[in-house]
Amino acid sequence: SLVSCHRMSAPTVWEGAGMSQLDFMHKDECVLLDMEDKIVGHDNKYESHIFCPERPRGKLHRAFSVFLFNDKGELLLQQRAKEKITFPGVWTNTCCSHPLFGYQPSEVDGPEEVKRGDVPGVKRAAVRKLEHELGISPSQVPIEDFKFLTRLHYWAADVVTHGPASPWGEHEIDYILFIQVKDVELKPNPEEVMDTKWVTYVELLEMMMPSSNLLWSPWFRIIATKFLGTWWKDLPKTLSTDLHFDPDNIHRFDCSEEHMGGAGGAGPWLDLKGSEFGDLWLGQVRVNQGKAPETPSMKHLLQKDDKNVWRLEATE
């Protein structure tokens, strides 16, 4: 299987020191998926996140979202750095990133780990990125303290940053992880995070009101409006019982209208209960018998201006 093959051929440990956002886009290999979260291949962050006519929503890949609470029950938010290529400057949950293919210990989970709820690969990725983005020591966030709740399938074009023909977006099956810590020391990485804030639920609702003029990540907006209040209301039970543990369902949502479009002109799909054939790339995966198809690279067509706004160069 892909997972066992990965474990045999993963000799390296992830290193982030001295690397730029573009370095990570080239080096980091995302785990590619079909609609049911089955692994179909892997590709670098560039190709996974490029929205184009051939792949209007990029390539579906695995992600995680960490919600880290302190002993007062406050949630740690971060504002993504202006240097980020996708969704720069937006407020979001504590940490959002991708488990990666090709590293040891493995960050790739199979269906049995999901069913049991231990998902050690995703949790290792979360510990890695909490340290990289926020300077949180792994000893302060033990893997066994994370609670995996459920999975969210969503997509969003980053048209707010890069305009109506944005070549960038997210298309993810997102693993939701909760954790509560007594004490945590933050040393945010300025290339990843420009601000942080501990909030109560009421304070979060106030921050998310349109009058605040704050930008929010599309995935956090979905989670906050559909699920977060219920999970947060009884945090001890959410963390210590299986009251909200749902490994069987993948909750599917289109982004809000402000994040539709992009270079591939993507529109409503998941909210219409669409199948994989509602997405060009996922339809190709299905036709290719559940394996990621060979696709031409689009990276060489990317152009960036001095304001970090990207576009796809027109082809003949």
Per-position DSSP letters for 163-227, written without gaps between them? -TT-SBEEEEEEEEEEEE-S-------TTTEEEEEEE-HHHHHHHTSGGG---B-HHHHHHIIII
Please state, as a whole number, how many other Cβ atoms lie within 10 Å of the Cβ of residue 11.
8
Contacts of 315 (CB under 8 A, 6+ apart): 301
Q: Which of 107, 113, 170, 172 is catalytic?
A: 172
pLDDT, position 183: 86
Kindly tell me the sign of the dihedral angle through the C-alpha atoms of 93, 94, 97, 102.
negative
The alpha-helical segments, DSSP class H, found in 12-147 are: 21-27, 45-49, 111-116, 120-134
Show the tokens assigned to 172: 């993810």
pLDDT, position 308: 86
CB under 8 Å, gap of 24 or more: what pairs does 32-35 form?
32/59, 32/60, 32/61, 32/292, 33/60, 33/61, 33/62, 33/173, 34/60, 34/276, 34/282, 34/285, 34/286, 34/290, 35/60, 35/153, 35/250, 35/275, 35/276, 35/282
Q: How far apart, in whole angstroms, are the C-alpha atoms of residue 78 and residue 93? A: 6
| Per-residue model confidence as pLDDT tens for the chain (316 residues) | 343 333 334 446 656 555 555 555 557 999 999 999 999 999 999 999 999 999 999 999 999 999 999 999 999 999 999 999 999 999 999 999 999 999 899 999 999 999 999 999 999 999 999 999 999 999 999 999 999 999 999 999 999 999 999 999 999 999 999 999 998 999 999 999 999 999 999 999 999 999 999 999 999 999 999 999 999 999 999 999 999 999 999 999 999 999 999 999 999 999 999 999 999 999 999 999 999 999 999 999 999 998 889 999 875 4
Judge whether 255 counts as a catalytic residue.
no
Nearest to 86 by CA among 217, 256, 279: 217
- Vertex 22 angle, CA 19 and 24, to 5°: 60
pLDDT, position 1: 37
Q: How far apart, in whole angstroms, are the C-alpha atoms of residue 254 and residue 313? A: 27
Strand 250-253 and strand 147-157: pairing? parallel
Nearest to 282 by CA among 272, 270, 292, 294: 292
Q: Which of 96, 113, 133, 170 is catalytic?
A: 96
CA distances from 28 to 13, 31, 105, 158, 161 (A): 12, 10, 15, 20, 23
Q: Is the peptide bond before 105 cis (omega within 30 degrees of 0)?
A: yes
Half-sphere exposure of 235 (CA within 13 A, CB side): 18
pLDDT, position 48: 97
Q: What share of the chain is helix, strand, coil (3-state, %, to 5)?
A: 30, 25, 40
Strand 302-304 and strand 250-253: pairing? unpaired
Please state, as a whole number, how many other Cβ atoms lie within 10 Å of the Cβ of residue 297.
11
Judge whether 30 counts as a catalytic residue.
no
